[in-house]
Amino acid sequence: MTITTTRVTRTGLEALREMAAAPPGPRRARLRDEAIRAWLPLAQHLARRYSGRGEPDDDLLQTATVGLIKAIDRFDPERGVEFAGFAIPTVLGEIRRHFRDRTWSVRVPRRLQELRLSITEAGNALTQSLGRSPTVADIAAHLSVTEEEVLEGLEGARAYSATSLSTPVTEDGATSLGDLLGADDHDLELAELRIALGPAMATLDERERTILSLRFFGNLTQSEIAGRIGVSQMHISRLITRALGKLRAQLTAG
C-alpha cells in the first residue's frame, strides 16, 4: 500500500516518531493531529474499497478514520514495523466491524456475519481470477470450508437487508407487502371462548342462565329483566355479579 505522495509519508512518519517520544501534553496532541492528517489518505483509500455496499460513503470514511486513530494511538515505532502494515489491518477491522454491527437487519450469529463477508470477498477475487462468477464449490475451496458452510453463509446473508412493509406488490400500488402478512384472527378467539363457555354455563342454575341470556344476548336492561323475573333491579344486579363470578372461576380453572 502506498500513500499518495512521498512528502505525506515522510511527514506522517516524522509526526509518529516525534509523538511517540513526546510526553503527554499540547505538543503531543499537536503531533497526533498532524499524523492523523498525514495518514488520512490511507483511511480514505480503504473506505472507498467498501463503497457501494449499502452504507453511506461518509459513514465508511468516519469508521475508517476511527480505525486510523486507533492505529496511531497504538503504534510503537521502536518495534520496527512499518506503520502502513500496522494500520491497514486495524482500519479494515474497524470497517468490517461496522458492517457486522450496523447493517444487518436481523441479528444473526457473529460466525455467519463473518462468513458472509468472507464469501463476498472470495466471490470478488474469484470473479477476477476465473473470469466468471464462481460456483459454491469454487468459494468453498478458496475459503477451505465445506459447500454446506458456504450455503449457510449465503442463507444468513438474507438478513443483511430488509424490505419495507410498505413496498407495493401490485401494479396499481393498492396492495403493499404488509397487507399480505397474517394477523390474529379474533373470530377464532371468540370461537374458542364459546367452546369453553358452554360447560361453564352448565354449572349455573336455570335462573342464572336465564338472567345472563336476557342481559347479554337479549340486550335487556337490569330493570327490564327484573320486571320479567319479578324481583328488584338490585337483586338482578347481585345475581348477575354472582353468575359472572361462577363463570370466571370455571373458565380460569379450565
Give the pLDDT confidence of 15-71 residue by residue, as tens digits: 888 888 888 888 888 888 888 888 899 899 989 888 877 778 888 899 999 999 998
Dihedral (C-alpha) 31, 37, 41, 47: value to the nearest 10 degrees?
100
- Phi, psi (deg, nearest 5) at residue 23: -75, 160
Q: What is the pLDDT of residues 73-91, one digit of tens each?
A: 888 888 777 888 888 888 9
Q: Whole-angstrom Cα distance, residue 136 to residue 138?
A: 5
Q: Whole-angstrom Cα distance, residue 46 to residue 71?
A: 14
Helical ranges in 52-205 per DSSP H: 57-74, 83-102, 110-130, 136-143, 147-156, 186-202
pLDDT of residue 68: 92
Q: Whole-angstrom Cα distance, residue 106 to residue 103?
A: 9
Mean pLDDT value across residues 93-122: 72
pTM over 0.85: no
Average pLDDT of the chain is: 76
207: left (phi over 0), alpha (psi -120 to 50) or beta: alpha
pLDDT of residue 243: 87
What is the largest distance, in Å, between two alpha-carbon atoms of the chain?
107
* Closest C-alpha to 47, from 99, 85, 86, 2: 99
Residue 168: beta bridge partners? 176
Confidence band (pLDDT; 50, 70, 90) for 112? low
pLDDT of residue 194: 61
Q: Distance of CA 189 to CAs 7, 181, 197, Å?
A: 76, 19, 12
- Phi, psi (deg, nearest 5) at residue 168: -65, 140
Q: What is the pLDDT of residues 143-188, one digit of tens each?
A: 998 887 887 777 655 555 544 545 565 666 666 545 555 445 455 4
Residue 237 grid coordinates: 344486579
Quick one: what percent of the chain has pLDDT higher than 90?
Answer: 6
| 136 or 158, which is more confident | 136
pLDDT of residue 19: 86
Mean pLDDT value across residues 118-138: 83
Domains and CATH numbers, the chain: 6-102 (1.20.120.1810), 110-160 (1.10.10.10), 186-253 (1.10.10.10)
Residue 225: CA atoms inside 13 Å, Cβ hemisphere, count? 24
